[in-house]
Amino acid sequence: MTQTVVITGASAGIGRATARLFGQRGANVALIARGRAGLDGAVRDVTDAGGKALAIPADVADHAAVEAAAGQAEEHFGPVDTWINVAFTSVFAPFAEIRPEEFRRVTEVSYLGFVYGTMAALARMKPRDKGTIVQVGSALGERSIPLQSAYCGAKHAINGFTESVRCELLHEGSNVRITVAQMPAVNTPQFSWVLSRLPRHPQPVPPIYQPELAARGVLYAADHPQRKQYWIGGSTAGTLLAQKVAAPLLDRYLARTGYDSQQTGEQVGPDRPANLWEPVDGPGGTDHGAHGVFDGRSHTRSPQLWASHHARLVSALGAAAAAGGALAALRRRAR
């Protein structure tokens, strides 16, 4: 039976790469985003890969638009099996330099967009007692960094909101599943179009991963939603573990390094494009694809991703190694 998938933020970055992977499966993929050029490119990606695609221009900050998009997807393809929330925006600036309306806009897109997508998905999945929702989160949803207060706040909110919904689904005995894929720094076009008040070009904090690696993590989470969350990339695992044991040290470290590590050496002018209010890939615009400008510095593989997908095997190998070490120690003592 053909899988039907809805992806928000599908015109670029992780959403775009994820859409192509589902296309390779022959899935029906409903693509939600604001940018027409990016949506048209995503349709080509999905169909070229072997799937069927439907472009739905919509702003996820508008609940009525998201609800209408969900209805359009089901009218065109039939019941939605998987809903993936990816769409976001941000402002790169010290908190004191972010205007109230800008902070509100980031929150409406990057947090409430996930809320509205989840509402639309659950309204259709719960009566059927079937379906999966994947929230594309971030390591910054548990460990915030400077210059991204609005984005980090939204990602933290997604984690809290999703935990609450998961508990409710468990209480109801529902077969609908919801999980989170926590992302590392990814080479997406957002760093070329995010609203920025930094003197130099924004960049993801290295190490940087390609969106296809992130998309493989999303695909796996969609196929195995029983786990609460997945950590994608070694830097995500390292960051979240460090946050659990040494958060005050991370505060001081990021206070020293967080400004320079989020900027390249390239100066940027006041005419730099920004997509906070309007898409930069609107009608007549440019399709930016899945990748940003950091291809030469981005990783296509991560051993941690493999480990997270084979958790039982890794645990078994760890137990075997520990047993082997204990046995070797006993033998040394016996000698």
- Listing from the earlier edge strand, what are the strands of the sheet with 298-299? 185-186, 208-209, 298-299
Inter-axis angle of helices 149-172 and 113-128, nearest 10: 10
What gap in Å lies between CA 197 and CA 201, rounded to an integer? 10
How would you classify residue 171: left for phi > 0, otherwise alpha for psi between -120 and 50, otherwise beta? alpha
Please give the helix or strand (H or E) that residue 195 lies within, else none. Answer: strand 195-196
- Listing from the earlier edge strand, what are the strands of the sheet with 82-85? 52-57, 28-33, 4-8, 82-85, 132-138, 177-183, 229-231
Distance between alpha carbon 129 and the CA centroid of its chain, in Å? 25
pLDDT, one tens digit per residue, over 20-48 is: 999 999 999 999 999 999 999 999 999 99
Residues for the chain: how many in total? 335
Least confident of 38-52, 58-72, 175-189, 273-287: 273-287
What gap in Å lies between CA 196 and CA 146, rounded to an integer? 13
Q: What pLDDT does residue 308 have?
A: 63
- Predicted confidence band at 132 (pLDDT cuts at 50, 70, 90)? very high
Per the CB < 8 A criterion, the answer to whether 32 and 54 are in contact is: no
User: Which domains, and CATH codes, for the chain?
Assistant: 4-301 (3.40.50.720)
What gap in Å lies between CA 65 and CA 62, rounded to an integer? 5
Residues 6+ apart with CB under 8 A from 34: 11, 57, 58, 59, 278, 279, 282
How would you classify residue 152: left for phi > 0, otherwise alpha for psi between -120 and 50, otherwise beta? alpha
| Strand 200-202 relative to strand 263-267, pairing | antiparallel
Secondary structure letter of residue 227 according to DSSP? S
pLDDT, one tens digit per residue, over 156-198 is: 999 999 999 999 999 999 999 999 999 999 999 999 999 999 9
Q: What is the pTM of this model?
A: 0.90
